[in-house]
Amino acid sequence: MSDAPYPRLSVRGLTGLLVVLTAAAPVLAKPFVHPGCLSTETDFERMRTKVQAGTHPWIDSWNLLIADGGARADYKDHVQKEVYRNSNGGNFQFLAWDAQAAYELSLRWQITGEKQYADAGVRVLMAWANTCKRIHGDPNAQLIALNGYQLACAAENLRKYAGWSRADFAKFRAWIHDGPDPTTGSDWWVGSPKGFLETHWRANPEHCWANWDLSNMACLMAISVLSDDRDLYNFVLKYWRSGAGNGAMSRVVYYMHPGYMGQWQEAGRDQGHAMLGPALLAVICEIAWNQGDDLYGERNNLLLAGTE
C-alpha cells in the first residue's frame, strides 16, 4: 500500500462538485400553503378567538359581515349561462354579487364551523361551474377578473370542507382554471388575463390604467393557489417585478415626492378608481405573503409609499 496521502479536493474542486450534483438533482417546486389566498389557518384561528370573545374591533367587523345579505345561508345565486361586459353595460353584476356572497359565506363557515354556510357557498360556486359556458364582451370584459379572485379565494377557504365532494371540487377548480372547454387554457373566463398582461391587445402597455393590470394579476394569483399552479403564480411575480404595463412595480407608484410619499398611477381619478389600485395590490401582496413571498417590502416598501 502506498504511503502517499489521499488526494485532497480543493475548495474550487469541491464547489465544482457541488454545482454538478446540484444541477443533476431535480428541483422540487415549493408546495402551496392551503388555505392560502387571503387567509391562512392561523388567520382563521385568530378570527374565531376574537369573535367568540366578542373583542372589539373584531366583533364589529363580524357584525357587519353577518348583517350583509350575501352572508345568509338562504342566499340565492344569480347564475348566468353567459356573462358579458362592454362599454354599454352588461350582466356582469350577477357574477359580482355571487362572487362576493360565496366569499362571505366561506368566511362565515370558517369562523363559526356551521355547515349551512359552507353548503350555501358551495352551492353558489357549483352553480357557476355547472352553468356558465362563456364570458365575453369588448375589452371591458377584462375587468371581470375583479370577480375572479373572489371566486377563487372563496373556493380556497372551502377546499377542506368535508361536505364538498372531491369530484365537485375538482370540477370547480377545472372550470375556473381551464373553462368548460379544457382546450381554452387557464385564461378563458376572464377575458384571457395572462394574454392581456402579455399583449395588452397589441396596444402600448401603458395605454391601460394600473387597475386593469392589477385586476388580472389578482385573479391569476388566486387561481394559481387554488389550482396548485406554480408556473401561473411565478408568472404574476415576474410581471410585478418586470412587466411592461402600469400595474408593474416600476410604474404603479410612478413618482416619489419628498418624504417618500408615492403617487399612485390612478391618482387624480375619481375616488373609486384611485382607491381600487392599492386594494388590488394588497390582495396580490397578501396572497404572496401567505405563500412565503414578501411583495409588501419590495422596492423599499413601495406599496406603503403609494398608500401614504
Round the average pLDDT of the chain to a whole number and report it: 88
- Cell numbers at 72, concatenated: 345568509
- Reported as a pLDDT band with limits 50, 70 and 90, residue 21 is very low
Residue 152: alpha-carbon gap to chain centroid: 7
- Cell numbers at 130, concatenated: 355547472
Distance (Å, whole) CA 6 – CA 219: 59
pLDDT at 29 (0 to 100): 76
State the amino acid at position 72 in one-letter form.
R
For the chain, the structural domain boundaries read 37-184
Span 8-14, mean pLDDT? 40
Distance (Å, whole) CA 173 – CA 42: 24
Residue 134: alpha-carbon gap to chain centroid: 21
- Cell numbers at 211, concatenated: 387597475
Distance (Å, whole) CA 35 – CA 47: 14
What are the distances in angstroms from CA 272 to CA 218, 266, 277, 288, 304? 18, 10, 9, 24, 19
Distance (Å, whole) CA 189 – CA 166: 22
Are 57 and 64 in contact by the 8 Å Cβ rule? The answer is: no
pLDDT > 70 fraction of the chain, expressed in percent and rounded: 87
CA angle 120, 127, 157 (to 5 degrees): 50
- Reported as a pLDDT band with limits 50, 70 and 90, residue 178 is confident
- Cell numbers at 280, concatenated: 388590488
Distance (Å, whole) CA 258 – CA 300: 15
More confident residue, 29 or 65: 65
pLDDT tens-place string over residues 184-218: 544 455 456 787 888 888 889 988 999 999 999 99
> H or E segment at 136?
strand 134-137
pTM over 0.85: yes
Does residue 8 carry a pLDDT above 70?
A: no
